[in-house]
C-alpha cells in the first residue's frame, strides 16, 4: 500500500512538472473565456452557452490530458530505464501499475477541480448564482476520464505511446457510439450480427452513460439510482481493465 | 569588434525587413483569398441531418448546437440586412433542434421568424411540432402553429384545434380560450365551437371569460335553433 501511494504521489509530481499539462489547462481556460465572447454574439439563453462550453471544455481537455499523460507514463519509465531499480525493490509490478493509475487520477482530479472552480466563478460573475446542478455533470465527467485513463494505461502496458494513443482515442470515439452499434445490430434482423453487436456493446466502454451535461444544464431531474449505477459501471469497467493491464504488464519482458 | 557590431545590426535589420515583407505578403494573399471564399453558411449544406450528426458529436451535441445557433443568428442577420431570403434557415434550425432538443429558443425563433420573415409557414410549423414534442406543456408552440395556419396559410379549420390545445395548457392567456371557438365558427363548424365554448365555460373560473363565452353560447344556440326551424 505504501509503495502504491509513493508511486502515485511521484506520478502526480511528474505530471505536474509536465509543461503539456499546463498548456492543455490554459487552452481549457481560454475556451471557457471564449464562451463569454460567443455569448455576446447570440440571442436567447445566454447562460446556457457558457455552461455548455464550460462543461464541454472540461470534458474534452480532461480526455486529452488522460490520454496524453496515460500513454506516456509506463513507456517513459521503460525508456529511461528508471523502472529497473524500482522493480528491483520489493515492489510488485501490479503495485507499480496501480500506483501509476492513482497518480493519473490525482492529476485529473486536481485538473478537473481547477477548471470547475474557474467555471463556477465565471457563472457566478455572469449570472450571480451558484449552479449546483453542474456538479453532477462534473462528477460523471471525472468518472469518464478515469475510464479513459485506465484504457490508456492498459494499452501502454504492452504497446508504444503512439499506438496506445490511437487505440485509446479510437475507444473513446466508439465509446460514444455503442448504443447506436447495438441498435444497428437489433435492427439488422440478422441473428449473428445482433449477437456480435451485443457482445461489442458489453465489451466496449459505454461512455454515453457518463454524459449528464444535458441534465445539468437544463436542470432536469436525475435519479440517484442512475448516478449510482453509472459510477458502479465505471468502477467495474476500470477494475476489469486495470486487472487486464496488470496481467499484460506482468508478462512483459523488459530486456 | 565595430565591424562585427555593424554586421549584427545589418543582419537584424535585414531579418526585420524579411519578417515585415512576409507579414505583408500574408495579409495581401489573405485579402485576395477572401474574394474566392464561399458564403459562410454554405458548409452547412454538407452537414448531415441532426439525427446523424448527433452520434458524430461524441457527447458534445449541446456545444455543437450552440455553435450552430451562433451561426444561425449571424446567417439571419446578414440576410435580413441584404436580400431578406433565408433558404437554409430551416435546415440549420432543424440541425440545432435535433442536436439539442431542450434548447427552446430555436423553436420560438423558427416558429416566428420562418413564417413572418421567411414566408415558410409550413416549415415554421414543422419546427413548432418538434417544440411540442420537447415541451408538451408550453402553450406558445401550439398557439404559434394555430396562428401560422390561420394567418399565413388561411386555414381556420386546421388552426382551431391547435389554439384549443394551447388554451388548455398552463399559463395560456385568457384570449386563447375564446379564440379557438371563434376559429371554429369562422370555418363553419358551429357545433365544434359550441362544444368548445361549453368546455371553457365549465372549466374556467375567470368571470370575464365566462361571461363572454356564455354570450357566444347563447348566440350559437339561437342560431342553431333558427337553422333547425328553417329546415
Share of chain A above pLDDT 90, in %: 37
Q: Check residues B28 and B229 and name the one with the higher pLDDT.
A: B28
A55 lies in a domain? yes
Query: Tell me, what's the pLDDT at A167?
Result: 94
Tell me, yes or no, if B63 comes closer than 8 A to chain A by beta carbon.
yes
Best mutation target among A40, A52, A57, A230 (most B Cβ atoms within 10 Å) is A52
Share of chain A above pLDDT 70, in %: 97
| CA-to-CA dists, residue B50 to A205, B32, B38, B75, B93, angstroms | 24, 35, 23, 18, 9
Query: Tell me, what's the pLDDT at A91?
Result: 76
A238 lies in a domain? yes
pLDDT in tens, B82-92: 878 888 888 88
B32 lies in a domain? no
Average pLDDT over residues B90-113: 88
Average pLDDT over residues B110-135: 87
Look up the pTM and report it. 0.78
A113 lies in a domain? yes
* Structural domain boundaries enclosing B127: 43-136
Query: Tell me, what's the pLDDT at A84?
Result: 77
- Quote the mean pLDDT of chain B: 81
B192 lies in a domain? no
A11 lies in a domain? yes
pLDDT in tens, A143-154: 999 999 999 999
A120 lies in a domain? yes
A203 lies in a domain? no
Query: Tell me, what's the pLDDT at A138?
Result: 94
Give the total number of structural domains in chain B: 1
Tell me, yes or no, if A184 comes closer than 8 A to chain B by beta carbon.
no
Is 90 exceeded by the pLDDT of residue A139? yes
Between B55, B66, B74, which is nearest A49 by CB?
Answer: B66
Q: Check residues A107 and A28 and name the one with the higher pLDDT.
A: A107
A236 lies in a domain? yes
Is 60 exceeded by the pLDDT of residue A216? yes
B67 lies in a domain? yes
Determine, for residues A43 and B73 on separate chains, whether the beta-carbon distance falls below 8 Å: yes
Q: How confident is the model at residue B10 (pLDDT cuts 50, 70, 90)?
A: confident
Q: How confident is the model at residue B33 (pLDDT cuts 50, 70, 90)?
A: confident
Is 60 exceeded by the pLDDT of residue B39? no
Tell me, yes or no, if A61 comes closer than 8 A to chain B by beta carbon.
no
pLDDT in tens, A96-128: 889 999 999 999 999 899 889 988 988 888 888
Give the total number of structural domains in chain A: 1
Is 80 exceeded by the pLDDT of residue B3? no
* Structural domain boundaries enclosing A22: 2-176+211-251
Average pLDDT over residues A209-217: 90
- What lies within 8 Å, CB to CB, of A184 at 6+ separation is A197
A131 lies in a domain? yes
Tell me, yes or no, if B135 comes closer than 8 A to chain A by beta carbon.
no
Query: Tell me, what's the pLDDT at A205?
Result: 92
pLDDT in tens, A29-88: 787 778 777 767 677 667 888 888 889 999 998 999 899 888 888 888 787 777 777 777
Q: How confident is the model at residue A230 (pLDDT cuts 50, 70, 90)?
A: very high
- Contact list, B59 vs chain A (CB under 8 Å): 59, 176, 207-208, 211, 213
Q: How confident is the model at residue A255 (pLDDT cuts 50, 70, 90)?
A: low
Transcribe chain A into DSSP letters: -HHHHHHHHHHHHHHHH-HHHHHHHHHHHHHHHHHHHHHHT--S-HHHHHHHHHHHHHHHHHHHHHHHHHHHHHHHHHHTTTHHHHHHSS--HHHHHHHHHHHHHHHHHHHHHHHHHHHHHHHHHHHSS--TTHHHHHHHHHHHHHHHHHHHHHHHTTS-HHHHHHHHHHHHHHHTTHHHHHHHHHHH--HHHHHHHHHHHHHS--GGGG--HHHHHTT----HHHHHHHHHHHHHHHHHHHHHHHHHHHH----
B109 lies in a domain? yes
Determine, for residues A214 and B60 on separate chains, whether the beta-carbon distance falls below 8 Å: no
Q: Check residues A78 and A185 and name the one with the higher pLDDT.
A: A185
Q: How many CB pairs under 8 A join A and B?
A: 55
Between B63, B74, B109, which is nearest A52 by CB?
Answer: B63
Amino acid at each position: 500500500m505504501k509503495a502504491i501511494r509513493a508511486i502515485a504521489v511521484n506520478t502526480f509530481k511528474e505530471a505536474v512538472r509536465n509543461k503539456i499539462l499546463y498548456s492543455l489547462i490554459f487552452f481549457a481556460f481560454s475556451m471557457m473565456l471564449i464562451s463569454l465572447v460567443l455569448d455576446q454574439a447570440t440571442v436567447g439563453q445566454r447562460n446556457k452557452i457558457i455552461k455548455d462550453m464550460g462543461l464541454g471544455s472540461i470534458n474534452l481537455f480532461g480526455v486529452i490530458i488522460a490520454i496524453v499523460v496515460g500513454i506516456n507514463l509506463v513507456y517513459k519509465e521503460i525508456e529511461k530505464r528508471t523502472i529497473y531499480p524500482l522493480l528491483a525493490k520489493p515492489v510488485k509490478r501490479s503495485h507499480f501499475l496501480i500506483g501509476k493509475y492513482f497518480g493519473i487520477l490525482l492529476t485529473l482530479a486536481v485538473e478537473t477541480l481547477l477548471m470547475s472552480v474557474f467555471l463556477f466563478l465565471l457563472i457566478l460573475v455572469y449570472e450571480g448564482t451558484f449552479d449546483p446542478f453542474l456538479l453532477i455533470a462534473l462528477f460523471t465527467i471525472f468518472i469518464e476520464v478515469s475510464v479513459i485513463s485506465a484504457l490508456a494505461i492498459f494499452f501502454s502496458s504492452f504497446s508504444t505511446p503512439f499506438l496506445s494513443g490511437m487505440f485509446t482515442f479510437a475507444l473513446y470515439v466508439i465509446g460514444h457510439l455503442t448504443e447506436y452499434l447495438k441498435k444497428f445490430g437489433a435492427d439488422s434482423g440478422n441473428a449473428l450480427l445482433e449477437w456480435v453487436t451485443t457482445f461489442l456493446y458489453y465489451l466496449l466502454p459505454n461512455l454515453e452513460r457518463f454524459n449528464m451535461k444535458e441534465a445539468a444544464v437544463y436542470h432536469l431531474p436525475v435519479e440517484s439510482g442512475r448516478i449510482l449505477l453509472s459510477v458502479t459501471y465505471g468502477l467495474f469497467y476500470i477494475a476489469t481493465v486495470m486487472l487486464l493491464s496488470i496481467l499484460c504488464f506482468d508478462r512483459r519482458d523488459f530486456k | 569588434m565595430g565591424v562585427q557590431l555593424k554586421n549584427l545590426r545589418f543582419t537584424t535589420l535585414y531579418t526585420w525587413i524579411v519578417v515585415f515583407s512576409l507579414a505583408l505578403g500574408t495579409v495581401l494573399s489573405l485579402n485576395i483569398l477572401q474574394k474566392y471564399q464561399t458564403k459562410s453558411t454554405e458548409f452547412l449544406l454538407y452537414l448531415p441531418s441532426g439525427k446523424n450528426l448527433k452520434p458524430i458529436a461524441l457527447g458534445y451535441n449541446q456545444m455543437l448546437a450552440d455553435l450552430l445557433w451562433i451561426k444561425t443568428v449571424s446567417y439571419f442577420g446578414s440576410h435580413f440586412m441584404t436580400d431578406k431570403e433565408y433558404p437554409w434557415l430551416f435546415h440549420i434550425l432543424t440541425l440545432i433542434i435535433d442536436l439539442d432538443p431542450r434548447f427552446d429558443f430555436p423553436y420560438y425563433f423558427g416558429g416566428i421568424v420562418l413564417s413572418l420573415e421567411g414566408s415558410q409557414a409550413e416549415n415554421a410549423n414543422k419546427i413548432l411540432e418538434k417544440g411540442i414534442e420537447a415541451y408538451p406543456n408550453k402553450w406558445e408552440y401550439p398557439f404559434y402553429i394555430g396562428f401560422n395556419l390561420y394567418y399565413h396559410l388561411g386555414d381556420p379549420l386546421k388552426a382551431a384545434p391547435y389554439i384549443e390545445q394551447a388554451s388548455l395548457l398552463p399559463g395560456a392567456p385568457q384570449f386563447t380560450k375564446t379564440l379557438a371557438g371563434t376559429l371554429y365558427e369562422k370555418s363553419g363548424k358551429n357545433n365544434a365551437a359550441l362544444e368548445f365554448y361549453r368546455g371553457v365555460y365549465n372549466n374556467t373560473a375567470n368571470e370575464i371569460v365566462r361571461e363572454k363565452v356564455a354570450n357566444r353560447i347563447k348566440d350559437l344556440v339561437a342560431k342553431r335553433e333558427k337553422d333547425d326551424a328553417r329546415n
